[in-house]
Structure 1
């Protein structure tokens, strides 16, 4: 009998009864640092020095045991597989960390961004309570979503990004998008 035989685990191999070294080695394991707003590498890819950026990104994803999501080695399980929701959550975080405006119009970027966040919200569980903890969690997720969106914008929006982030109260994503559209029309 191995040392983990009496611990609860999902079909995906993730130990759910507490921390365990085997959980950390599972590509579907998410630590507190694996979140949509996390900075994966310090330098945003700007079209220059691709080799250095790719090396830094590859090493980071390898250390986090998430490289398989990019290389497609971590296969998507069937929807009835117990590990399906874990895979969806991890894949959504990867997509959120990779999305930026690039050559897209702001409206196109917003639509893509919102769709991925909606998918993430579907598979991520909100704390099950109506207490201040749940409210704080929602506020944190709204802020994280806003910051992720704003920092995915092209540099031409740097001043608008700064003014949105300094507003009190901090706007939610839809309000920030409306501000961007209004400023673009002026």
Structure 2
């Protein structure tokens, strides 16, 4: 729900940053209309039993806080379950894409429960929030690598030795390339491993792509 509200630029109605204006305020009617939409979205996303407990409330912020107060304990247990699932995840018989997608779903759900506040910096963010986000990305990368099958041992060691560590999305691209090489049957030649130089070139390529996309979106995060 947070992602949906963020996508519709309505997250401020539940986090308290956009408070209800006075009825004499020129923005009151616009606020009331948007608040009504958010209240409706919240109610429609709830089961009928839960919806009955908040249906009387006409303020989106109050509804969100009521639900958070009532079900916060359940969130804690869900967070523990997700973290346990993340730390025990192994590739096994999954393809690289399926394995990465499995972890990505866990990471996204954890992000909804434990979000890092947004920040606005330049290309090189040095604020505390940026550092926290960097640490989280590094942990995700380590979990991705730790769960890989033994056949990826060499490329995994090469990635770990890279300084700085590459972005997790860039590593996913490297691993899919390695997977294609594993299953290549061209000319019946032995399967080749990605060399360190290939890894560095791939990382530069992904960084270049990410930088272009970043500049295209602006500097807000």
Q: Could you state the TM-score of these two structures normalised by the residue count of structure 1? A: 0.53
Which residue of structure 2 aligns with residue 86 of structure 1? 76
Distance in 2 of aligned mates of 1:183 and 1:159: 11
Q: For structure 2, list consecutive stretches of 5 or more residues without a partner in the other structure.
A: 1-66, 121-125, 182-221
Distance in 1 of aligned mates of 2:141 and 2:83: 15
Report SS of the residue matched to 1:169: coil
Q: Could you state the TM-score of these two structures normalised by the residue count of structure 2? A: 0.45
Equivalent of residue 160 in structure 1, options 131, 150, 155: 155
Q: For structure 1, list consecutive stretches of 5 or more residues without a partner in the other structure.
A: 1-77
Distance in 1 of aligned mates of 2:101 and 2:164: 24
Match status 1:97 vs 2:87? yes
Residue 160 of structure 1 deviates from its aligned partner by: 0.6
- For the pair shown, which has the larger CA radius of gyration, 1 or 2? 2
Structure 2 contact 145–156 (Cα < 8 Å) conserved: yes
Structure 1 contact 89–123 (Cα < 8 Å) conserved: yes
Residue 128 of structure 1 deviates from its aligned partner by: 6.9
Match status 1:176 vs 2:171? yes
Q: How does 1:8-87 map to 2 (within 5 A)?
A: 80-87=70-77
Deviations 1:93-125 (A, max 9, x none): 111112110111111111111111111111113
Distance in 2 of aligned mates of 1:178 and 1:82: 37
Query: What RMSD, in angstroms, separates the aligned Cα atoms of the two structures?
Result: 2.1
Name the one with the larger helix percent: 2
Structure 1 contact 92–116 (Cα < 8 Å) conserved: yes
Range 89-98 or range 161-170, more displaced: 161-170
Residue 129 of structure 1 deviates from its aligned partner by: 6.3
Which residue of structure 1 aligns with residue 108 of structure 2? 118
